[in-house]
Amino acid sequence: MSATDEPGAAAAAANGPLSHLDPSGRARMVDVSGKDETVREAIAEVRVVMTPATLALIDTGSVAKGDVLAVARVAGIMAAKRTGELIPLCHPLPVDAVDVDFESEPAEGVLRIRTRARTRARTGVEMEAMTAASVAALTVYDMCKAAEKGIRIEALRLLEKHGGKSGSWTLEDSPS
C-alpha cells in the first residue's frame, strides 16, 4: 500500500496526519495527557433560513411554544456541556463559559446564531461551540415547525479558535 492509498491520505497530505486515526487507519481518541492546559476559546456560527413571516413570529415572541430565543439559548448551552457524550472521539471538557447570541435579518428571513465556548483544558473547544450552534438551530426549528415546515439550517462553521499550541485561527486565515 502506497502512502496515497492509506486511509485519510489526501487530508493528511493537505493538513498533516489525521490525529483520530492510528497508523492502521482505525479510529482512536487522541492522547492529550502530555499537553499543557491553556485557556481556549472557539466561536461558531449557523444560519436558520425561514420566511420573513416566521422570523417575525420569533422576533415578536408570538410563537405558540413560547420564547424561541430563550429556549434555543439554553439548549445550546446544555449541548455544549454534553459534547463529549454526543461525539464519539471528542474529549469531555470542563466548559467554563458558553454564549449563544442571535441576529435577525428580517428582510431575508435569516436568523444567525453565533456561539462562543471557553475552557481551560488540554484540547480545543471548537466542537463545543459548533455543537451549541447546531442544537440551538435545531431548537429553533422544533419550536417553529408548526408555523413553517420548510425552515433550513445552513452554513454551520467555525469562525475562530484561540489558545493551545497552534495559537489563533480565524476563518479568514483559511485557504478556501
DSSP the chain: --GGGSTTHHHHHHHS--TTB-TTS-B-----TTSPPEEEEEEEEEEEE--HHHHHHHHTT--TT--HHHHHHHHHHHHHHTHHHHSTTPPP--EEEEEEEEEEETTTTEEEEEEEEEEEESS--HHHHHHHHHHHHHHHHHHHTTT-TT-EEEEEEEEEEE-STT--EEGGGS--
Residue 153 has pLDDT above 90, yes or no: yes
* 14 compared with 30, residue with greater pLDDT: 30
Strand order in the sheet with 152-162: 95-105, 110-121, 38-49, 152-162, 169-170
The closest alpha carbon to 83, from 112, 115, 61, belongs to 115
Give 9's pLDDT tier (boundaries 50, 70, 90).
Answer: very low
Please tell me the predicted confidence (pLDDT) of residue 17: 64
| Distance, CA of 105 to CA of 88 (rounded, Å) | 35
Residue 3 has pLDDT above 60, yes or no: no
Question: In percent, how much of the chain has pLDDT > 90?
Answer: 74
pTM of this structure: 0.85
pLDDT in tens, 95-147: 999 999 999 999 999 999 999 999 999 999 999 999 999 999 999 999 999 99
Examine the residue annotation and report whether 142 is marked as an active-site residue of this protein: yes
Give 5's pLDDT tier (boundaries 50, 70, 90).
Answer: very low
Q: Which of 59, 99, 101, 142 is catalytic?
A: 142
Please tell me the predicted confidence (pLDDT) of residue 15: 53
Give 18's pLDDT tier (boundaries 50, 70, 90).
Answer: low
